[in-house]
Amino acid sequence: MLSLFLVALVSATLLPGGSEVWLARLWCLGEPALVLWAVATAGNTLGSLVNVGMGRYARRFQDRRWFPASPQGLARAERWYFRFGEWSLLASWAPVIGDPLTVLAGVFRLPWWRAILLITLAKGTRYAVVLLLAQQWLAPLCQ
């Protein structure tokens, strides 16, 4: 279970990971689905909260030359973020766009409790779907 937690945590940061495959593998080995769901959701949510924290911290360096976003790029991201708002975190489960969304939530100072709620909902739903798909498609292959 610790391995699933760590893979899920790393998968939620800007580093690549394969938590869905690891979750399905452990399910196939007979681990209880509810425990797997809770561990994966907790790890992945915590990893996304690391991104939120990095976004909060990084904003203080926006005037530095090495800051990865130009003032225009930051303004464009801010307009986009405030157009779609905090609800955009419901897409934090998605590959490619999910990690930057969590960083933006930090940059634009979304309250922690809202970030935790929305990210947990998104991540928990994703892992529930992965487990349902595993039960549908992998059950005959698991021995």
Q: What is the value of pTM for the model shown? A: 0.84
Q: Domain total for the chain?
A: 1
Q: Are 36 and 72 in contact (CB under 8 A)?
A: no
Above 90 in pLDDT, residue 29?
A: yes
The residue segments making up the domain with residue 5 are 1-139
Average pLDDT, the chain: 88
pLDDT in the model for residue 16: 61
- What lies within 8 Å, CB to CB, of 115 at 6+ separation is 48, 49, 52, 86, 89, 102, 105, 106
pLDDT at 45: 96
Smallest CA-to-CA distance from 3 within 45, 35, 28, 40 is with: 40
Q: Is the pLDDT of residue 125 over 90?
A: yes
Pairwise pLDDT comparison (14 vs 64), residue with the higher score: 64
Among 94, 93, 118, 122, which Cα is nearest to 105's?
Answer: 118
- Per-residue pLDDT, averaged over 24-29, amounts to 93
Could you please report the per-residue DSSP string of 50-90?
A: HHHHHHHHHGGGTTSTT-SS-HHHHHHHHHHHHHHGGGGGG
> Which tens digit of pLDDT belongs to each residue from 68-122?
777 887 788 778 777 888 899 999 999 888 888 999 899 888 999 999 999 999 9
- Supply 91's token pair: 């897409």
Model pLDDT for residues 37-52, shown as the tens digit of each residue: 999 999 999 999 999 9
Q: How many residues does the chain have?
A: 143
